[in-house]
Chain A
Amino acid sequence: MATAGANKRIAKELNEITREPPSGMKVRLVDESNVHKWEIIMDGPASSPYEGGHFKLLLTLPIEYPFKPPILSFQTKIYHPNVSNDDKGSMCLGMLRSDEWKPPNKILAVLNMARNLLVEPNAEDAIETSIAEQYRGDRKAFEKTAKEWTKKYANAK
């Protein structure tokens, strides 16, 4: 019963998002038979150092969703204070933390939050402290590296 309800909600959200996709994002299931793994292609927002890049994200919904938060990870390498600089590329802050997650939050809100973080990184709540340091102290150098990485990994032209 519980999983049936959860699946129904996920299907509903997926339906809503594919019908009216948020700007600059493409959403699809990694595997049509599994609604718990979503693949998102996010375009780097204009006027951010990530402009022109196409970032692949993986959104994993736990079995307990919506009672547990979804897990969002960047599959494309990105130079960002809130994304871990390893092969996981995980992003964990704000509403995605399990102690701050609320069941009424929707995936659409999660995706919009991720996009906003690309525009405005949150250096206070960083996972990569050295990048956060640079973001705060030497914005120019940060933007330069971020642009380079975007060009290198996210095929920006």
Chain B
Amino acid sequence: LEYVSPVDSNLICAICQCPFNQPMQLVCDHTFCNDCLKQCFKNQEGTTRICPACRGPIEILNFKSKTRKSPRYVIQMLDDLLVRCPNSKAGCESHVKRGEIEDHVDKYCDYSVLECSDDECTQGIWRKYSEQGCLHFMTMCEDCGESMMQKDIFEHQEKTCLKRFIRCQHCSDELAKPHLKQHLASICPMVPARCTGQPFGCPFEGTRATVNAHVISCVIATMAPYLSTQKAAFEEQDKANKVLQRKLDLFEGGLTAMQNILYSDNPPTAASSASRAAETSIDTPMTETGAMAVDIPNRHSQQGMSTGTPPFDTPISHLLSLHESLREELSRLENTIAELDSRTTVMILNEGQRSKDEMTHANAAINSMRMQLHWLMSTRLQQ
């Protein structure tokens, strides 16, 4: 039998390499076709047989109880495989389930050969003509004059006669049957057709001839090849874009998760974590404030872990990362303090300088006033 599509390798007999036929299962669970197994055991002698796959021994005594039919579902799967009708060469195009092929050939297939209904005639005939009496006499094709058996004449007229003309349903040309297919596919000018620009919005419909005339002038049709390549390119881009978008989302999610873990105990740097810190502070009992407030961010980050957004697989690594971030924070604070320190020193220095200057100014003024006083006093004394 010829299978329509490739068969799953699990349904293939290891011996004949075909899908199982009447599969039998041995005690060791290995399965083979009934015929293959018989064939294999025929070559073995003695009181034991050997499994062809695992060489496990099978006692010949009570042999029937040691081999059994495969489970029903296996047989069902095998029977459901589609096969071509064995009469496909004669012209039957049916694809039939393997389990039903016998019925098909015996009872239904039009191309099964039956005995001629005439008792004296011993020749065979296809089922589809079998009820028309004996057709085994020579006759002549009324169109081309070839002589043949009456039983072959239908097929001949239907498919091969080159002189039997039929009318094309579209263009009313007369032509031989074997040529009709090609005529319809590429020649007949009256076959209904559509503008090649139809997928891109050209509404034109007509026969092949009018469409051909239309296509020359149709803007959309001339653009059609270009448009379709564009469309394909677009679709490709779209696909790539979607993939990238997904990747980006993934990365962004990962990044925010990482940020949350790193900065959750540093409210000023991440606004979102500050707000979440506020949420947790509501959760904590209202009586504990002041000192507790310092602990809250830490607690929050631990909660963040236990409610489990993206974080780390073990608490230890989480704590380690926390530790790391705290240390970072510390060094940052240190830096700020040092900066502040230097700034204030500079400020103080500047301030001192200025007051010193002012003091000298004042000193000078006082000195000049003393000189004046001195001068006035001396003039008064001289009077």
- Min Cβ gap A113→B in Å is 17
- The A-contacting residues of B in range 22-49, CB under 8 angstroms, are 35-36, 39-40, 43
Give bound CA distance, A67 to B52, whole Å: 9
B198 to chain A, nearest CB (A): 41
Given A102-B53, A102-B55, A12 and B17 contact (CB-CB distance below 8 Å)? yes
**Residue interface mask A43-64, B partner, CB < 8 A = 1:** 0000000000000000000001
A103 / chain B contacts, CB cutoff of 8 Å: 14-15, 36, 40, 52
Report the separation of the CA atoms of residues A13 and B15 in the bound assembly, to the nearest whole angstrom.
12
- Number of contact residues on A: which range applies? 10 to 19
With beta carbons under 8 angstroms apart, the residue of A1, A5, A104 that contacts B53 is A104
Tell me whether A67 and B18 are in contact (CB under 8 A).
Answer: no
* Minimum CB–CB distance for A127 against chain B, Å: 24
Main secondary structure of the interface of B (DSSP, over half): loop
Determine the residue in chain B with the shortest Cβ distance to A102: B52
With a cutoff of 8 Å between Cβ atoms, the chain B residues found around residue A144 in the complex are none
Given contacts A102-B52, A104-B52, A104-B53, A5 and B43 within 8 Å (CB-CB) = no
Query: Which residues of A lie under 8 Å from residue B17 when comparing CB positions?
Result: 8-9, 12-13
- Tell me the A56-113 residues at the B interface (CB within 8 Å): 64, 66-68, 102-104
B43 lies within 8 A of A9 (CB): no
B33 CB to closest chain A CB, in angstroms? 9
- A2 B39 Cβ-Cβ under 8 A: yes
Whether B43 lies near A8 (C-beta < 8 A) is no
Task: Give chain B residues whose Cβ lies under 8 Å from the Cβ of A5.
Answer: 16, 18, 35-36, 39
Assess the B35–A104 pair: CB atoms within 8 A: no
Determine the distance from Cα of A67 to Cα of B15 in the docked complex, in whole angstroms: 8
Q: Are B39 and A104 in contact (CB under 8 A)?
A: no
Q: How far is the CA of A2 from the CA of B18 in the complex (A)?
A: 13
Smallest Cβ-Cβ distance to B50: which chain A residue? A102
Interface size class of B (residues with CB under 8 A): 10 to 19
Shortest CB-to-CB span from B205 to chain A, Å, is 46
The reply to whether A9 and B53 contact each other, CB–CB distance below 8 Å, is: no
- A8 in contact with B16 (CB, 8 Å): yes
Minimal Cβ-Cβ distance residue in A for B42:
A67
Contact with A along B89-107 (1 / 0, CB 8 A): 0000000000000000000
The answer on a CB contact under 8 Å between B53 and A67 is: no
Give Cα distance in the complex from A9 to B16, angstroms. 5
Contacts known (A5-B35, A67-B43); A104 close to B14, Cβ less than 8 A: yes
Instruction: Please measure, in the bound complex, the distance between the C-alpha atom of A64 and the C-alpha atom of B39, giving whole angstroms.
Output: 9
Residue of A nearest to B38 (CB): A2
Chain A neighbourhood of B16, CB < 8 A:
5-6, 8-9
A-B contact pairs, 27 of them (CB 8 A): A1-B35, A2-B35, A2-B39, A5-B16, A5-B18, A5-B36, A5-B39, A6-B16, A8-B17, A8-B18, A9-B15, A9-B17, A9-B18, A12-B17, A67-B40, A67-B43, A68-B43, A102-B53, A103-B14, A103-B15, A103-B36, A103-B40, A103-B52, A104-B14, A104-B15, A104-B52, A104-B53
Other contacts beyond A9-B15, A13-B17: 19, CB < 8 A: A1-B35, A2-B35, A2-B39, A5-B18, A5-B35, A5-B39, A8-B16, A8-B17, A9-B16, A12-B17, A66-B15, A67-B39, A68-B43, A102-B55, A103-B14, A103-B15, A103-B52, A104-B52, A104-B53
- Top 10 closest A-B pairs, CB basis? A104-B14, A103-B52, A103-B15, A9-B17, A5-B16, A12-B17, A67-B43, A104-B53, A9-B16, A2-B39
